[in-house]
Structure 1
Amino acid sequence: MHPSEDTERAHLLEALQKQKNTLASLRITGSPTQVGQELVSLAEVHGLLDDHAASRQCYEEALALFKEAGYKPGQAQACFGLGVVKANFEDHRGAVELIAQAAMLFNETKDREGEAMCRACVGESLRALGQPEAAEEKYQEALILYRQTRNTERTARLLLDIGDIRMEKAEYEPARKRFLEAIPMLEKGEDPEALALGHLLLGESEGLLGQHEAARTHLLRAVELYQELHDHVYEARARWDLSLSCFYTQDLAAAREQLEAVLPLYEEQGRADEVAKVRNILAHFAARGS
């Protein structure tokens, strides 16, 4: 485990103990709603620690208390949490059922952000179930709500998801439009991973449309961002794509530079087939004196 991950886990365990202490006193003095809210907070910390079984227990108890109190916002939170737990256990059908229930409760309590989050998560589970059209429909519903609440970060993320579905269907121009719309929002936000992914996907869509100069600009930006994030898997993907765009624009020196940079990344990841492919291309370049 990385030292920073160790520190983060220690903070989470400390937070978990504090939540348990608070919950213990609230069970004596608090109302069902207060105890339920503390259980939801405890469930979220368990989730961050990947203890999904403990998380589920807390959400189930919270849901029973919120129902007893007739508190719909809490019921919505607990249903959503239980749905996320099911998704973490790869039970996506169960997740869809619970999160759809949460969406209705958020709708009844006029919580558009909560409803949007639910619709987006239903979309994720539908996509995991191999239903991209149904997933895109849910993403579009969430997108409308996020636009209404002016949540640009979530709007941008959904645009990337919708564009990615279009890429899978080989609808590169509609995908490109979604990515183009998302990137200015991401540039103003504070999510470097989403920004890197946006530039990567836009670069790939430009390349697939034969617009290799435009692709190079975005793929180079993706490479820089993934380097900063120390994400070698996605950095390798971006460098490979960039090498292709450089090749198609007849900039063979730049193509070779990217291939030489991607080679140790593939080696580090143990991707023997890709290593062999890159070595062959570099040998071909050397033979041609490129």
Structure 2
Amino acid sequence: MHHPPEDTQRTHILDAIQKQKNALAPLRITGSPTEVGQGLVNLAELHGLLEDHAASRQFYEEALEKFQEAKYKPGQAQALMGLGVVKANFEDHRGAIEQIARAAMLFNESKDREGEALARACIGESLRSLGQPEAAEEKYQEALILLRQTRNTERVARLLIDIGDIRMEKGDYEPARKRFLEAVPLLEQGEDPEALALGHLLLGESEGLLGNHEGARPHLLRAVELYQEVHDHAYEARARWDLGLSCYYQQDFAAARKQFETLIPLYGDLGQTGEVAKVQNILAHFTARGV
């Protein structure tokens, strides 16, 4: 999930952009094309953090020219990758795939497994946005094979979640569950509470869809706690709804009621009046049955 930067963060990024521009000015005169290219890539990435994609594109294009002039393949791969991501941000996914495929080839020639894996995963993202889940999964699998050869367990875990998510959409809950089951312990070692929360949520959902409500509950409960910590009300609500259903299917009506009651203010904050009404209906049902 990508959030626009907070105000203080924004100030830091603007400050970093200014410093980078100041450093780049003399470098343009004295530095090699590769050094200038690298400085431009840094500048492009900083603008990307501000979601100023037009400025980002401009600096990536300039960097690509410098790297081509220097015949420096790793830099060309980096700049093409950046340009592809910019295109994806502008919803031009076909254009993104074209640029990133060129980057993947150059990463491969430069023996940069992590770069190539990331490129293949990004192509998967764009294919998914174009409504081609099978082709996307193929790219994620290619990226996964490459990433398993590196030490980047967090990226491996994210790919497993993406692959599992595609499986869930297809209704293949058991293969999806296996992916999430492998991802969660890897995410437990990492530093990203949102990714970990999503892992537990999806694992809980897949267990529930397979009818294993007892197995689903601890994961959904962990997801609820993590989403509370990161103040993500929308996903906390989704996790609580699933948890409430799992409790209900296990006939633990007191626990189910507790989750559904907590949902009402959450949905209220999110302005989802239809969902509030739905939950009130369920609670009225509980009351009528004396549970």
Q: 1:249-277: per-residue Cα shift (whole Å, max 9, x none)? A: 00001000000111111111111211110
Distance 1:62 1:188 in 2: 36
Distance 1:272 1:9 in 2: 34
**How do 1:130-141 residues align onto structure 2 when only pairs under 5 Å count?**
130-141=131-142
Alignment partner, residue 143 of structure 2: 142
Identity fraction in percent: 80
Shift of the alpha carbon at 1:62? Answer: 0.6
Alignment partner, residue 151 of structure 1: 152
The one-letter amino acid of 2:80's match is C
Alignment partner, residue 216 of structure 2: 215
Alignment partner, residue 125 of structure 1: 126
**How do 1:51-200 residues align onto structure 2 when only pairs under 5 Å count?**
51-200=52-201
Shift of the alpha carbon at 1:25? Answer: 1.2
Alignment partner, residue 267 of structure 1: 268
Say how many residue pairs are matched: 288
Shift of the alpha carbon at 1:150? Answer: 2.5
Q: Considering only aligned residues, what root-mean-square deviation do their CA atoms show, in Å? A: 1.0
**How do 1:25-36 residues align onto structure 2 when only pairs under 5 Å count?**
25-36=26-37
Distance 2:55 2:10 in 1: 16
Distance 1:56 1:283 in 2: 55
The one-letter amino acid of 2:123's match is V
Alignment partner, residue 286 of structure 2: 285
Counterpart secondary structure, 1:150: coil
Indicate yes or no: 2:39 matched with 1:50: no
Distance 2:96 2:211 in 1: 40
**Consecutive aligned runs of 4 or more in structure 1 exceeding 6 Å deviation:** none
Shift of the alpha carbon at 1:168? Answer: 0.1
Scaled by the length of structure 1, the TM-score of the pair is: 0.98
Shift of the alpha carbon at 1:29? Answer: 1.0
Indicate yes or no: 2:12 matched with 1:11: yes
Counterpart secondary structure, 1:83: helix
Shift of the alpha carbon at 1:189? Answer: 1.1
Structure 2, unpaired ranges of 5+: none
Q: 1:168-210: per-residue Cα shift (whole Å, max 9, x none)? A: 0000000000000111111111111111000000000000000
Deviates more, 1:131-140 or 1:269-278: 269-278
Distance 1:143 1:150 in 2: 12
Distance 1:243 1:146 in 2: 37
Alignment partner, residue 243 of structure 1: 244
The one-letter amino acid of 1:201's match is L
The one-letter amino acid of 2:51's match is D
The one-letter amino acid of 2:238's match is R
Shift of the alpha carbon at 1:31? Answer: 1.1
Scaled by the length of structure 2, the TM-score of the pair is: 0.98
